């Protein structure tokens, strides 16, 4: 008769890792949870300038949301924000990936020089860089107008910020320029993880560069690309500083408002803080809707891996 196998000892999980997570969890809950709860409560209240001087806020329920939904201007701002977000996120991902691919082909000296330039552009304070960009596109003294005029184009004293299309063209250039370094560095790090033996084997099999990128490189870096796109959509949807500074420099506010500046002008500018809080919650819901497909794909790929 065979002997019964000895039962495996049950490994007890140490509570130490969970205990170490408690301080960070509490800090995040206080830092993120309280403002979110306060924002939700504020969105159900009539909170204006009088409440800042001590008058108790009035509970209005869904009136702020109802007023937003019934405002045709809000839907114009939402459409404008979504289009601006998708265009900028797509351009940033494409240019950043192209820059990362080019860096893999550069010599070490040139690659380090390019990376230093990208790092300086990324580290430059937003307000300082906006001052430079506003000077470049200045109507009378801007270098862009001067250069285009000397190339034979009719751009003498062209008011870039007074027209909606050219305003968002300038804003797109600035936002993409500020975001490309992050994407380029992230994608370059992902490209360094592509197995070189697979690339060499595909070259020996006669695969062209485009085929190697499509069947080997892209599947390898796809998880990182999804994360980059997810972050870019979130960042570009809530862009504020660039649009606000361009509006101050001469842009037509009502025709160029995005959700960030719309919320700011409802709250700080107009004193309707309850309405601004409702608009902020609306933007949060919109961000969740827009990023949900990417999150679903990322989770599906993680389960497959």
Q: List the domain boundaries for the chain.
A: 58-304
pLDDT tens readout for residues 144-197:
999 988 888 888 888 898 889 999 999 999 999 999 999 999 999 999 888 888
The C-alpha angle 83, 87, 88, rounded to 5 degrees, equals: 115
DSSP state of 160: G
What is the pLDDT averaged over residues 261-280?
89
Do 144 and 169 meet the contact criterion of CB atoms below 8 Å apart? no
- pLDDT-based confidence at 31, cuts 50/70/90? confident
What local confidence, expressed as pLDDT, does residue 240 receive? Answer: 92
Q: Pick the residue with more confidence: 7 or 193? A: 193
**Nearest residue to 235 via CA among 78, 88, 124, 39:** 88
pLDDT tens readout for residues 86-132:
999 999 999 999 999 999 888 889 999 999 999 988 888 888 899 89
Evaluate if residue 2 carries a pLDDT over 60: no
What is the pLDDT averaged over residues 250-264?
89
Do 46 and 57 meet the contact criterion of CB atoms below 8 Å apart? yes
Q: Residue 257 and residue 243: Cα distance in Å, rounded?
A: 8
Evaluate if residue 83 carries a pLDDT over 90: yes
Backbone angles phi, psi at 228, to 5 degrees: -60, -45
What is the pLDDT averaged over residues 215-229?
87
Average pLDDT of the residues of the chain? 86
- pLDDT-based confidence at 3, cuts 50/70/90? low
From 3.40.640.10, 1.10.3720.10, 3.40.50.300, 2.40.50.100, which CATH number describes the 58-304 domain?
1.10.3720.10
What local confidence, expressed as pLDDT, does residue 261 receive? Answer: 93
Out of 143-152, 209-218, 270-279, 296-305, least confident range: 296-305
What is the pLDDT averaged over residues 22-27?
85
What element of type H or E holds 181? helix 164-191
What local confidence, expressed as pLDDT, does residue 305 receive? Answer: 64
- pLDDT-based confidence at 4, cuts 50/70/90? low
What local confidence, expressed as pLDDT, does residue 6 receive? Answer: 57
Residue 260 CB: number of other CB atoms within 10 A?
21
pLDDT tens readout for residues 135-144:
999 888 889 9
């Amino acid at each position: 008769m065979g002997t019964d196998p000895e039962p495996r000892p049950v490994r007890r999980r140490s509570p130490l890792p969970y205990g170490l997570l408690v301080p960070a969890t509490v800090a995040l809950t206080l830092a993120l949870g309280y403002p979110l709860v306060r924002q939700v409560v504020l969105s159900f209240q009539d909170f204006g300038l009088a409440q800042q001087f001590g008058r108790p806020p009035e509970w209005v329920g869904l009136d702020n949301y109802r007023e937003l939904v019934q405002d045709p201007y809000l839907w114009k701002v939402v459409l404008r924000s979504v289009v601006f977000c998708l265009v900028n996120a797509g351009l940033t991902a494409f240019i950043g990936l192209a820059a990362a691919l080019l860096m893999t082909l550069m010599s070490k000296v040139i690659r380090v020089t390019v990376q230093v330039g990208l790092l300086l552009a990324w580290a430059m304070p937003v307000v300082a860089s906006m001052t430079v960009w506003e000077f470049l596109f200045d109507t009378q003294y801007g270098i862009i107008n001067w250069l285009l005029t000397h190339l034979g184009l009719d751009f003498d004293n062209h008011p870039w910020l007074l027209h909606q299309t050219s305003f968002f063209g300038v804003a797109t250039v600035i936002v993409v320029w500020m975001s490309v370094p992050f994407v380029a560095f992230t994608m370059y790090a992902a490209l360094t993880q592509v197995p070189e033996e697979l690339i060499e084997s595909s070259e020996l099999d006669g695969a062209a560069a485009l085929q190697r990128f499509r069947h080997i490189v892209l599947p390898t870096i796809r998880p990182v690309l999804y994360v980059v796109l997810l972050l870019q959509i979130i960042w570009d949807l809530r862009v504020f500083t660039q649009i606000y500074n361009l509006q101050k420099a001469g842009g037509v506010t009502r025709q160029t408002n995005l959700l960030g500046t719309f919320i700011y002008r409802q709250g700080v500018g107009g004193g309707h803080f309850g309405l601004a809080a409702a608009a902020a919650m609306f933007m949060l819901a919109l961000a969740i809707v827009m990023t949900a497909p990417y999150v679903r794909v990322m989770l599906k790929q993680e389960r497959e891996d």
